[in-house]
A and B are shown apart, each in its own frame.
Chain A
Amino acid sequence: MTDVIKTDALIVGAGPVGLFAVFELGLFDMKCHLIDILDRPGGQCAELYPEKPIYDIPGWPSISAQGLVDKLLEQIHPFKPDFSFNRMVSSLEKLDDGSFRVTTDENEVFETKVVVIAAGGGSFQPKRPPIPGIEAYEGKSVFYSVRRMEEFRGHDLVIVGGGDSALDWTLNLQPVAKSVTLVHRRPEFRAAPDSVNKMYAMQEMKQLEFRVGQVSGLTGADGQLASATIKGGPDGDIEVPCTRMLPFFGLTMKLGPIAEWGLNLHENLIPVDTEKFQTSVSGIFAVGDINWYPGKLKLILSGFHEVALMAQAAKRIISPGERIVFQYTTSSTSLQKKLGVVA
């Protein structure tokens, strides 16, 4: 049994709203732990449009999405939140004392007094390419990420895609695999030019094969691939040996295991009240793009408002009976101490 990680608030999702929740909860002395499926904080802001300016953050006429994430990290720094990246929450169980036990897909166990779902559009998961019957091979011979390179040793590997993941794994797995075929729908790549040059050089030396086209069909049995058909290339339809496939088609957002937590749902969103932003389960809150209430707007600024109210309700759960004094950061010495701006 792994060690249980104890925290006051477990925040699912480290996007802008999840990050600001650390601030509001921190003012009430609540320790936060954030979990995100991405490898860094920022959610969609970091993953989808880091360079794009946002124009509706109060006080910032224009700020890049990554810039906002960086500022939020600076703002919550005094509260020293813990982060677990590359993780997806899997199960949730309510304990007798009203707290929650949450496990991740990496088998970590958290015990937390409240859960704050700030999962935005859901968790980023790999996109499945439009290849008929591909589902039957997933997890057996079709993989969407490389966890162990040994999985590919001695195999006829087909890698599909044109970004850095596709190119990097083409180069890294070439020495391990029996053969490598890279398939991309056009001869231009999004990947680093250096990787693309290396790939073309290896093709010159017949160490791998690059084919323009799209994978249109698979053959195999019992989850084990045998070959792949590539269409749309200059040579017409061709069949290549393929016993392992790695498609890299980017990420899409899915609600994922949260859908099985027994919360009421409204078209894949989580209904909450607008006083506490609490879900149908006491102690589980939902804030930001993932929640729903009459008049809901999917704006970052709405999420900021939601976490401020949520924090009040969370504090009442964690410290029942304690009087909550409403204070301003401009004038409260006790808040300023927490922020580290006064001694």
Chain B
Amino acid sequence: MTKLTFIAHDGTSFDVEAENGSTVMENAIRNAVPGIEAECGGACACATCHVYVDEAWTAEVGEPEAMEEDMLDFAYDVQPNSRLSCQIKVRDALDGLVVRVPARQG
């Protein structure tokens, strides 16, 4: 299992154990992390699972692909470390990953 930490907009942090191969979004929903809506259910079609990847992790998590970059245009307050959490797959190298939830999802 891989440990993920979500930090909600109010600062509350949620540590969750995630299965490799699942998406960061699925783990947020499963653990009822507030502020992740995932309206489209993980189809990279709505930009409501937007997160900010902690600066220490941006290199390991990597850059969004073109389709995700297009969807990020619709996200609220996009920053250079913005990602859609449905497009980040959990793997060993992400053990300890920290992501922050924005104030709103659009």
Q: Residues of A at under 8 Å CB distance from B?
A: 44, 48-49, 52, 121, 127, 129-130, 161-163, 184-186, 188, 190, 214, 249-250, 252-253
Question: What are 17 pairs between A and B in contact, CB < 8 Å?
Answer: A44-B40, A48-B39, A48-B43, A52-B43, A52-B45, A127-B74, A130-B77, A130-B104, A161-B73, A162-B73, A184-B73, A185-B73, A186-B73, A188-B66, A188-B69, A190-B73, A249-B74
* Residues of chain A lying within 8 A (CB to CB) of residue B104: 130
Query: What secondary structure prevails in chain A residues at the interface with B?
Result: loop
Would you call B46 an interface residue if the criterion is a C-beta within 8 Å of the partner chain's C-beta atoms?
yes
Check if B33 is an interface residue, CB within 8 A of chain A.
no
Q: Do A190 and B40 touch across chains, with their CB atoms under 8 A apart?
A: no
Chain A positions within 8 Å of B40 at CB level: 44, 48-49
How far does the alpha carbon of A162 sit from the alpha carbon of B74 in the complex, in Å?
9
Known A49-B40, A162-B73, A190-B70; contact A249-B106, beta-carbon cutoff 8 A: yes
Select from chain B the residue with minimum beta-carbon distance to A65.
Answer: B43
A-contact bits for B45-75, CB 8 A (1 contact / 0 none) = 1111000000000000000001001100110
Check B78–A214 contact: CB distance below 8 A: yes
CA distance A214 to B104 in the complex (A): 17
Task: Mark each residue of chain B from 92 to 106: 1 if its CB lies under 8 Å from any CB of chain A, else 0.
Answer: 000000000001101
B14 within 8 A of A: no
Provide the B18-49 mask, 1 if CB < 8 A to any CB of A, else 0: 00000000000000000000011001011110
Interface residue range, chain B: 10 to 19
Distance A190 CA – B47 CA, assembled complex (angstroms) = 15
Give Cα distance in the complex from A214 to B80, angstroms: 12
Main secondary structure of the interface of B (DSSP, over half): loop
B78–A49 CB distance below 8 A:
no
Interface residues of B (CB under 8 A from A): 39-40, 43, 45-48, 66, 69-70, 73-74, 76-78, 103-104, 106
| Contact pick for B69, options A186, A214, A253, CB 8 Å | A186
| B39 and A253 contact, CB distance less than 8 A | yes
Question: How many residue pairs, one in A and one in B, have C-beta atoms under 8 Å apart?
Answer: 44
Question: A49 CA to B73 CA in the complex, in Å?
Answer: 16
Chain A residue at minimum C-beta to C-beta distance from B72? A185
Which residues of chain A come closer than 8 Å to B77, judged between CB atoms? Answer: 130
Contact B73 A250 (CB under 8 A): yes
- Given A48-B40, A253-B39 in contact, is the A130-B73 Cβ separation under 8 Å? no
Instruction: Give B74's nearest chain A residue, CB to CB.
Output: A250
A130 / chain B contacts, CB cutoff of 8 Å: 76-77, 103-104
Residue of A nearest to B76 (CB): A130
Query: Bound state CA distance, A48 and B77, in angstroms?
Result: 21
Nearest first, the 7 closest Cβ-Cβ pairs linking A and B are A250-B74, A48-B45, A130-B77, A49-B45, A49-B43, A127-B106, A190-B70
> In angstroms, how far is the closest chain B Cβ from the Cβ of A125?
11
Residues of B within 8 A of A249 (CB): 73-74, 106
Residues from chain B with a CB closer than 8 A to the CB of A48 are: 39-40, 43, 45-46
Complex Cα gap A185–B76 (Å): 12
Closest CB-CB distance, B26 to chain A, in whole Å? 16
| CA of A162 to CA of B69, assembled, Å | 11
Assembled-state Cα–Cα distance A185/B43 (Å): 23
Contacts of A49 in B (CB 8 A): 40, 43, 45
- Residues on A with C-beta less than 8 A from B76 are 127, 129-130
